[in-house]
Amino acid sequence: MLSNVEYTRLMEILLRQDDYIILLHQNADPDAVGSGIALKELLKSQGKKVIIGTETLNNLSKNLLSNLGDFIVTAPTDNKNLIILDTSTPVQLGIFERMLDNAEVLISIDHHETFETSKFKGKKYTYCLNKERTSTAEIIFDIMLKMKDEGLLNKENLDCDKLIRGILTGIVTDTGHMRFSDVNTLKTLIHIFKKGYHISDVDDLLKVEDDISKKIAILKAHQRMKIYSISDFIVATSNVSSCEALSAKAILSTGADVAFVGADNGSEVRISGRAKKAVLDRGINLAKIMSQVASIIDGEGGGHKGAAGANGKRNMEEGLKKCVEYFVQELGGTTNGECVEYTEETEIQDCWGK
């Protein structure tokens, strides 16, 4: 829950300015977009002018944006008051990263783990709110409850239905349809359900048939897999030209315990990692691994314990190798050259050194 000190500091900065742009990470997911729409509504209730900006959206977010009747800008503006949502590192903003150079006010609201001092900074005011929640949408909901308690919600300028549907969609998607929810998630949902909403209200927003390019990317990821046996886990790495996060998730569903998938489009390198609960129970934190890999690919990384990513400029193959290396180190072992790729001609060999 948002503390009174955190809320007071946040509102002191928010209410000083009259116009904002809310920035989201590239390939923005429904948690980012839903949170952005909800925060936009909250600020509009205070008479603020607000737009949302992101370089790209995933398919679910395109559907969400359309169904909620909202819009985004896809190119930087001259706005100097920035709110950055659901984004752990500046490089994830893509072309919008350049707006940081001229930012007067900069507020970052996020729920991802980060292992380095924040690089987000405004010239006049900077405030970074990072809460350990299962979605950024829950943090926005906490802000809404605080505003309501203080009588700050002007319902004449507030589309409550749009706000709640945006938050609910963000929660449902970022918790994997509640698989990764916790007690705080459920407390938030109880508030929402008491208003007559249900998870089924956003089902239509979440059903998007994968297009053929995504299906091909997933198949190629499986075709190019390198497979390792590390302790009692199966770790797979692969590379695609796009859809690396979707491919990593698909590789988990077909048997791997951990998947690292890279993408290199010539100007940018991205690596996405996914892990099953049994791996997390052993103390593995993919966000930490990605923050280490970031230096290899000349970029930045972070995320969650079981789902994380890194963005950089080069060395995708080396980055994938380091993902495996760091994973072994996190388990308490060392590769020492003993990590052997599984092929049709060889047995799976144990990288644990036994």
Domain coordinates of the chain in residue numbers?
4-206, 212-331
What is 4-206's CATH superfamily? inorganic pyrophosphatase (n-terminal core) (3.90.1640.10)
Q: Closest Cα to residue 258, out of 285, 232, 276, 246?
A: 276
Residue 234 vs residues 19, 264, 284, 293: alpha-carbon distances, Å: 50, 24, 14, 20
Classify the phi-psi angles of 336: left when phi > 0, otherwise alpha if psi is within -120 to 50, otherwise beta: left
Class of domain 212-331: alpha beta
Residue 29 vs residues 98, 115, 223, 231: alpha-carbon distances, Å: 21, 22, 27, 33
Same fold, 4-206 and 212-331: no
Q: What is the pLDDT of residue 116?
A: 52
Q: What is the pLDDT of residue 49?
A: 96
Residue 341 has which token pair? 């790729």
Q: What is the pLDDT of residue 354?
A: 44
Please provide the DSSP assignment of 25-45 as one string. -TTB-HHHHHHHHHHHHHHHT
pLDDT tens for 147-186 read 999 998 888 889 999 999 999 999 999 888 888 889 999 9
pLDDT tens for 25-60 read 999 999 999 999 999 999 999 999 999 999 999 888
Evaluate whether 236 touches 258 at the Cβ level (below 8 Å): yes
* Angle (deg, nearest 10), helices 212-223 and 244-253: 60
Q: What is the pLDDT of residue 344?
A: 54
Q: What is the pLDDT of residue 122?
A: 72
- Residues of the chain with pLDDT below 70 are 113-119, 208-210, 333-354
Evaluate whether 315 touches 298 at the Cβ level (below 8 Å): yes
* Maximal C-alpha separation, the chain: 69
Rounded to two decimals, the pTM is 0.76
Residue 217 has which token pair? 């990317």
